[in-house]
Amino acid sequence: MTRIGIAILGAAALAAAAPALAAPAPQDAKAVVAAASKAMGVEGLNSIKLWGSAATYTIGQNNNANGAWPQVNLNDYVRAIDFASGAAKTTAVTYGAPVTGGPAVKADLNQAILPGVAWTRQYDIWLTPWGFLKGAAANGATMTDLTVGGRKMKLVTWNPPIKAATGQPYKVIGLIGPNNIVERVDTWVEHPIFGDMKVEARFSDWRDANGLKYPTTTEQQIDGHPAFELQILGVAPNPTDIAKLVAAPPAAAPPQPPPAQGPASDKLADDVYRIRGAYNALAVGFKDYVVVFEPGPQNEARALAILAETRRLFPGKPIRYGVISHHHSDHTGGLEAVVAEGITIVTPEVNKAYLTRAYSGPRTLVGDALAKSGKKPIIEAMGDKRVFDDGVHSLEIHQIKGLPHADGLVVAWLPKEKLLVYADMFNLPTAAQPVPDPPVVGTQVFVANLERLKIEPERIMSIHTLNPDRLTNMEDIRSSLGLKK
């Protein structure tokens, strides 16, 4: 079995794979951890600085719901960790092309992990091979023998002192090979989409720096896709300036106060309402039910607010369907609240397997509405078009073709009201550059699809608030491409 293929099994699968294993043994674990610490040169290691090149991946923002996360390269990568205090800092340089086109722009990464922060940040320290052994030694690890691919391994488990908001303990599991080297470490963290999200770290291509063993290659995976990669070029154990190296970056300027709260919703037509927010939603009332377009953006609180406002607008009518514009995490970060209500989620076929898997797993660490409800997602897959119609109102959902941003992105079209609702294809250009050069691909695709569908809206509502005082129109969109109506 290759190192990529090594799997750490859950309790039930582990028992099935190795029924003769002895019960976990704390005393055996202590000896195994001590032996590995000695072999890897971790015994006197209190802090470390490492450098190299890396890549991170943006979870939940893949172009296709079933594909890999998009990659962001990190150059001049430097990381310092103080195991004694639980502090760390990472710096790097990256370049990203603006969504409006043009040359890539340099960005400096400067992220700190402060002592005592939530496990969702702290695990970055303890999923290193040295951090895993430090944590195992300090937190009463247990150990089980395991054979993987014909190799005798040690499966070591420990729990950090902090717990999830639900009271559930976090868990860290590591595989130690026959040569006393940590080959893999896994943990689980809470995530609004994936619930108890598993993070897998694998280490290979080991070198020795004056007795300290370090992997030149680190690979992390989330949901079966690469989530982080690191190529270490060098390490410095116990740097004398560790306090400076892990010091938090200067605090950012305090955020501007939020604008005055406007109305929660506004009426766009009979039984048609825009529910306002940084991410807008559209609620359409039919004779016996309500459809919400973009019901679960941002987070659980925003989704609950959208559902509450919809019920206020349509008392006594059930919210039967929720249509998501696309699968990206900022547009589905609160979808768990919608699933918890038993509302059917409508989306193109390409998104069904991803959403079903994401919202069906354990949520013991999250404690959100879906975890409390115990419900499973109801996903209705659509083709190129889905129509809701009761003889009075008609709401058409159309799948956009040829958009690089996301497969399975849809728009909502109300033909009687001549109202279109969309996300992530057009942004109002600045006054300094009313016709972006090069033109925005998303806007070009937007216009091409409306022409293909023979849709000519009089009003266009964006999920992202472009201007809270008005809806946009085709003149705005065509003008941004240098086109005339």
Q: Which residue do the tokens 């955020």 mark?
A: 255
Q: Is the pLDDT of residue 22 over 80?
A: no
Task: For the chain, give the percent of residues with pLDDT over 90.
Answer: 81
Mean pLDDT, residues 384-398: 97
Mean pLDDT, residues 467-481: 85
Spatial distance between the Cα atoms of 37 and 45, rounded to a whole number of angstroms: 9
CB atoms near residue 30 (< 10 Å): 16
Q: Is the pLDDT of residue 101 over 60?
A: no
pLDDT at 371: 96
Which listed CATH number (3.30.56.10, 1.10.3720.10, 1.10.10.10, 3.60.15.10) goes with 265-480? 3.60.15.10
Spatial distance between the Cα atoms of 170 and 135, rounded to a whole number of angstroms: 12
Q: Which of 93-107, 194-208, 211-225 has the lowest mean pLDDT?
A: 93-107
Spatial distance between the Cα atoms of 13 and 18, rounded to a whole number of angstroms: 9
Nearest to 146 by CA among 12, 294, 279, 22: 22
409 CB-near residues (< 8 Å, 6+ apart): 325, 326, 399, 400, 403, 423, 424, 425
Per-residue pLDDT reduced to its tens digit, 298-329: 999 999 999 999 999 999 999 999 999 999 99
Q: How many helices (H) and strands (E) does the chain have?
A: 12, 23
Dihedrals φ, ψ of 323, to 5°?
Answer: -105, 120
- Token pair belonging to 464: 């992202």
pLDDT at 295: 98
The fold of the 11-245 domain, in CATH, is outer membrane lipoprotein receptor (LolB), chain A (2.50.20)
Residue of 2 and 97 predicted with greater confidence: 97
Q: Is the pLDDT of residue 412 over 90?
A: yes
Per-residue pLDDT reduced to its tens digit, 345-387: 999 999 999 999 999 999 999 999 999 999 999 999 999 999 9
Amino acid at 236: A
Residue 294 DSSP SS3 = coil
Q: Is the pLDDT of residue 1 over 50?
A: no
Answer for the pair 425, 405: CB distance below 8 angstroms, yes or no. Answer: yes
Q: Tell me the pLDDT band of 98, cut-offs 50, 70 and 90.
A: low
Spatial distance between the Cα atoms of 188 and 169, rounded to a whole number of angstroms: 10
Q: Is the pLDDT of residue 104 over 60?
A: yes
Mean pLDDT, residues 239-250: 94
Answer for the pair 409, 423: CB distance below 8 angstroms, yes or no. Answer: yes
Per-residue pLDDT reduced to its tens digit, 253-300: 777 776 666 679 999 999 999 999 999 999 999 999 999 999 999 999
pLDDT at 24: 63
- Token pair belonging to 204: 């290979």
- Check residue 357 and report its DSSP letter: H
Mean pLDDT, residues 11-17: 37
Domain positions in the chain are: 11-245, 265-480
Answer for the pair 440, 357: CB distance below 8 angstroms, yes or no. Answer: no
- Check residue 418 and report its DSSP letter: T
Dihedrals φ, ψ of 267, to 5°?
Answer: -80, 125
Amino acid at 432: A
The pairs formed by 390-394 with CB atoms below 8 angstroms and a separation of 24 or more are 390/286, 390/287, 390/288, 391/287, 392/286, 392/287, 393/271, 393/272, 393/284, 393/285, 393/286
